[in-house]
Amino acid sequence: MSALELRGLNKAFGGLRVTAEVSLTVEPGERRLIIGPNGAGKTTLFNLIAGELRPDAGSVRLFGDDITRVPSRRRAHLGLARTYQIITLFPHDTLLRNVTLSLLGLSRLRWNPLLRLDRQTALIEAARQTLARVGLDHLAERPLGEMAYGERRRVEIAMALAQSPKVLLLDEPFAGLSSEERRDIQQLLTTIPASVAIVMIEHDMDIALDFAERITVLHFGRVEVEGTRAEVVAHPRTKEIYLGE
């Protein structure tokens, strides 16, 4: 059974077709890269998978279950996590609180109006450990607003990892980072358990090609090329798309 299966996804805004007949299958533990020029509809695809957008046609399946009609907030509980291109974290809260919120989202505790959040030691410890995984536990008590951009990117990933996802969507995780920061994130990605399927959108070719087992190339919302790294790199259509037709 595949981890993530998209069948014939279509989405149009008014007259603009942003996603056209996209079909895609990602196996458990696979490292999939989605590339394409700007405007190819990559982030829209993520929004469709995550449930923020409803497709006009087609289906999304998670481990065999059709989640096309499942509301976005439930998909987190089904093992789906994502990061965002533009950082949308909580700047006034500490790093620890940010990650704690992520963990809380999947816990029944989030409805509790009586206990004190600060005293939930198990939850907070788990958050601290997640921060340690991304190498930021020494900054746990600092407000997010004080963090450098590279550190915030790592918190983004920590937030997603905290959800113990089975399918992880990474939207341009390397954007805006220095080469050293990129190596840090690359290293971090290798520590993610092999059972987690990772789908990444990225522009930086070197890093991305290192990471990917299979690559899907999108253009004007349509899947143009798909295959292993070697196949896609060699494919003439790939060159056409990137160098203009």
Partner 1 sequence: MKRAALVLTLAALAALPLWVGNEYYVNIAAQILLYAIFALGLNVLVGYAGLVSLGHAGLFGIAAYAGAFMITSGANHLVAIIVALAVTLATAAAFAVLALRGTGLGFVMITVALGQIVWGVAYRWISITNGDNGISVGTRPAPFGLSLTSAAGFYWATLIVFLIALACIEVLAASPFGASLRGARDQPRRMTALGYNIWLIRFLAFLFSGLWSGVAGLLFLYYNQFISPQAVALSASAEALLMVIAGGTGTLLGPVAGAALVVIMKNVASAYIERWNFVLGAIFVAIVIFMPEGLVPGSARLARWCLARLRPRGAPAAAPRPEAGP
CB of 236 to partner 1, least distance (A): 38
Compute the CA torsion angle 51, 8, 1, 42 (nearest 10 deg): -50
Site for partner 1 in 198-237 (CB under 8 A): none
User: Measured between alpha carbons, how far is 123 from 101 in angstroms, rounded to an integer?
Assistant: 10
- Name the one residue in this structure whose structure tokens are 């919302």: 221
CA distances 47 to 40, 76, 93, 158, Å, are: 14, 13, 26, 20
Contact region for partner 1 (CB under 8 A) — 110-118, 191-199, 201-209, 232-240?
A: 110-118
Site for partner 1 in 131-160 (CB under 8 A): 159
- C-beta closer to partner 1: residue 156 or 184: 156
- C-beta closer to partner 1: residue 100 or 216: 100
User: Measured between alpha carbons, how far is 28 from 147 in angstroms, rounded to an integer?
Assistant: 34
By CB under 8 A, tell whether 126 contacts partner 1.
Answer: no
Contact region for partner 1 (CB under 8 A) — 31-39, 67-75, 147-155, 220-228?
A: 67-75
User: Measured between alpha carbons, how far is 170 from 225 in angstroms, rounded to an integer?
Assistant: 20
By CB under 8 A, tell whether 89 contacts partner 1.
Answer: yes
The correct pick among 19, 94, 163, 216 for binding partner 1 (CB under 8 A) is 163
Q: Six-digit token pair at 24? A: 């895609």
By CB under 8 A, tell whether 74 contacts partner 1.
Answer: yes
Helix axes 149-162, 95-104, angle to 10 degrees: 20
Contact region for partner 1 (CB under 8 A) — 58-66, 95-103, 194-202, 235-243?
A: 95-103
The correct pick among 19, 44, 120, 130 for binding partner 1 (CB under 8 A) is 120
Contact region for partner 1 (CB under 8 A) — 24-32, 104-112, 130-138, 147-155?
A: 104-112
The correct pick among 8, 23, 54, 77 for binding partner 1 (CB under 8 A) is 77
Contact region for partner 1 (CB under 8 A) — 9-17, 107-115, 214-222, 225-233?
A: 107-115
Pair type for strands 4-13 and 214-219:
unpaired
- C-beta closer to partner 1: residue 103 or 207: 103
CB of 73 to partner 1, least distance (A): 5
Binding interface with partner 1 (CB under 8 A): 50, 52, 72-74, 76-77, 81-82, 84, 88-90, 92, 97, 100-102, 104-106, 109-118, 120, 159, 163
